[in-house]
Amino acid sequence: MKITTTKKHLVNAHKKKITAMLWGPPGIGKSSIVKQVAQELGINLVDLRLPQLEPPDLRGIPVPNRETKTADWYYPEYLPSDGEGILFLDEIEKAPVAVKNAALQLVLDREIGSYKLPPGYSIVCAGNREDDGAFSQQLGSALANRMMHFDVVPDYEAWLTWARQNNITDGILGYLAFRPDHLYRYDVDAKAFPTPRSWEMLNTMWQGIDNIAEQNELLEAVVGKVVGLEYRTWLTVYKNVRVEDILLKGELPDFNKLEKGKEKSFIYAVTTAVAHYVKQRKTFDGIEANTAKFVMFLDAEMRTVFCKQIPTKHLGTMIEHKAFRPIAENLMTVIFGV
């Protein structure tokens, strides 16, 4: 689910005091969504990272009452006592079992021990999925069944709106407009990979670094070697290429201006960028002729790269359209291996 849609559901969940659970890979902006909802509603946000807590941090600690010979429970000062807001239980799936059990009572009953969550507060939880490589564990059916569950995916349009409001450099904005699929690209074998969080980090670290070698080291450290290399090339070459001009105007990129040795990576980047643009369109209408012109411009290897990224419905339209007749047989071989 895109971030914009998720935010709408969170606003409604807050009004109706139903707990929501946000699932998604690291760095895509789950925490930011909750903060934005609180800011837009003008309410408080209490942000707790559950793996850092022990059960007494939610349940409170017993303090002897000598007069009654009982124990009074003193709950933490950071738990809200009045007003309106969101209690955000982040990284809940990584919390110890005892902390999860304490959270279960809070989610289920809106109270734990002597503490009661104020009526104006809703609860939102967030965590990574087990296959995200983030040391996540199962949430447990008893706790999971008390929540609505939203799978959050990277949302380029929502990120772009945020980026423009937060002074993200034109270089990053331009590159991700060219390659929006690189806003998030998880690489299981890499320490660093691009996410909305890492692009923001790069924007901060890039300031004042003019040495090319240091810039390349920074790119590899923040967004990874592969995407970092492509971004470096973008800064010197890609900014002169617009996917819209290729598909809407039929203008082909001039590969003769490339530095020696960069031709293949550049053509690959342009090919995947054009394929991504076509894939995101709901219809193939209006760009058939220029797409055919571009595909005929590619060699057999890049045609294969292009076709593997195109939805089946678009591939069928391509083969049937008159603009593709000169290469229809070749496309059939590329697509179906016949």
Lookup: tokens for 74: 């003193």
Of residues 236 and 15, more confidently modeled: 15
Whether this model's pTM surpasses 0.95: no
Question: How many angstroms separate the CA atoms of 184 and 87, rounded?
Answer: 27
Lookup: tokens for 217: 């080291």
**What's the average model confidence in pLDDT over 131-137?**
55
Question: How many angstroms separate the CA atoms of 155 and 28, rounded?
Answer: 8
Lookup: tokens for 149: 């569950």
Give the pLDDT of residue 237: 66
Question: How many angstroms separate the CA atoms of 170 and 214, rounded?
Answer: 20
Residue 127, phi then psi, degrees to nearest 5 = -170, 170
Question: How many angstroms separate the CA atoms of 216 and 38, rounded?
Answer: 38
Please list the residues that pair with 72 across neighbouring strands: 63
**What's the average model confidence in pLDDT over 190-213?**
89
Count of C-beta atoms within a 10 Å radius of residue 292: 21
Q: For the chain, how many residues are written? A: 338
pLDDT in tens, 62-92: 788 888 878 777 878 888 989 999 999 988 8
3-class DSSP state for residue 76?
A: coil
pLDDT in tens, 205-245: 988 888 888 989 999 999 999 899 888 877 776 666 778 88
Q: What's 259-311 look like in SS3? A: CCCCHHHHHHHHHHHHHHHHHHCCCCCCCHHHHHHHHHHCCHHHHHHHHHCCC
Give the pLDDT of residue 319: 74
Give domain limits for the chain: 3-153, 157-336
286: amino acid identity, one letter: G
**What's the N-to-C CA distance of the chain in angstroms?**
37
pLDDT in tens, 258-314: 555 556 767 777 887 788 778 777 677 788 888 888 888 888 888 888 887 777 777
> Do residues 197 and 26 lie in contact, with contact meaning Cβ atoms separated by under 8 Å?
yes
Give the pLDDT of residue 291: 86
**Rounded mean pLDDT of the chain?**
82
Give the pLDDT of residue 314: 72
From its phi and psi, is residue 99 left (phi > 0), alpha (psi between -120 and 50) or beta? alpha
Give residue 147's Cα distance to chain centre: 22
3-153 fold: Rossmann fold (3.40.50)
Of residues 255 and 162, more confidently modeled: 162
Question: How many angstroms separate the CA atoms of 160 and 4, rounded?
Answer: 12
pLDDT at 50 over 90: no
221 by Cβ neighbours in 10 Å (0-12 / 13-18 / 19+) ranks as middle
Lookup: tokens for 97: 């079992």
Pairing status of strand 120-127 against strand 115-116: unpaired
